[in-house]
Every structure is written in C-alpha cells, then in structure tokens.
Amino acid sequence: MDTVESKVSKTILQQQEEVVVGGETYKVSPPSAATLILASEAISKLPTVELNPDDIAIESLYIAKDCRVLGDIIAILILGAKNITETKKVVTKRLFGLVSDENEVTIDNKAILAKKLLENVEPRDLHEIMARLLKTMQLSDFFGLTVSLIEINLLQKTRETVMTASGQ
C-alpha cells in the first residue's frame, strides 16, 4: 500500500505504474485527455442492465457475452491513446533477396493487449488492475474541466439576445 507521500511523489515525478499481463510488464503513463475520452467511449459500450444482487452468478453469466469490451477498456488505460496502434515498416524480399518491397503495416496494440487480458488474467485480477488504474487517472481534474466548459457553453446560450422590431 502506497503512503500519501509516495503517491504525491509519483504524481509530481509522473512516475509510471507497472502492470503485468501474461508475464509481460507494461508501463502505464499518466493519462491524457484523449486516453480518458477513448476509455469513456469504450465504457459506454458496456451493457446497461440492473443486476439482481440475489442472483449475482446468473446475472453475471447473462451479461458476460456483452462484456468483451472490458479488455478494450483496460487496454486503453494501460496503453494510453498514443500507443493504441503503431505503424511499422515491413521489408519483404523476393527473387533470392535481389528485389525488396517496403510496406507499412498498422499493428492494433489495443486488440492484442485486450485479448491477452481476457485470456490470461483472472476476473479478480482484472478488477484489481482496473481499480488501481482508475485511482491514477486524475478523473476529478477531467470532470472539473468538462463541467466548467459545459457551464461556459450554457452561459453563452443564455446571454444570446433575440432582436425584436421596435414597438413590439
């Protein structure tokens, strides 16, 4: 368990969290607004159902088919918006290496990591990873930013005046 001082230190120094998935260690950077937006988009794809706490096992199995997006959500939080895809140059040689072609290939790191998460990580560990990452996501700052911008937008709408002809 981190002390308050160590959490503050990590934040100030922008130290990366580490997450281990299938024996591979991923360094999680502090989130960008783009990362939070992508995570929010993915979270919106989760099923909206009210679970009955008396039949939690049956309810969980009922919605499990729609929860593949959990892997995407956690992969987005781990990779960040900048690392979801990457482009690599691939050189293929033919005619005994005399002729080579260079092509760009886009690698979907999110899909690869989401698959690893869903296939190799137990639900309890997925929950722990998600909770730990959400604690470092600066959600209150993002919420404050969006709320203040929404309020500014609302104020602009109420300040608009309607022109009327004189005498009306």
Give me the helices (H) in 1-159, please. Answer: 4-13, 33-43, 56-64, 69-79, 109-120, 123-135, 139-159
Q: Which residues contact 43 (CB under 8 A, 6 or more apart)?
A: 69, 73
> Which of 11-15, 25-29, 76-80, 132-136 comes out lowest in average pLDDT?
11-15
Question: Is 109 in contact with 79 (CB distance < 8 Å)?
Answer: yes
Residues 19-72 have pLDDT tens digits of 888 888 999 888 888 898 899 899 899 888 777 778 877 777 777 777 789 999
The first and second tokens of residue 91, run together, are: 């050189």
pTM exceeds 0.75: no
Closest by CA to 29, choosing from 138, 114, 118, is: 138
Q: What separation in angstroms does the CA of 148 have from each of 109, 142, 145, 157?
A: 34, 10, 5, 15
pLDDT band at 117 (very low <50, low <70, confident <90, very high): very high
Question: Is 136 in contact with 9 (CB distance < 8 Å)?
Answer: no
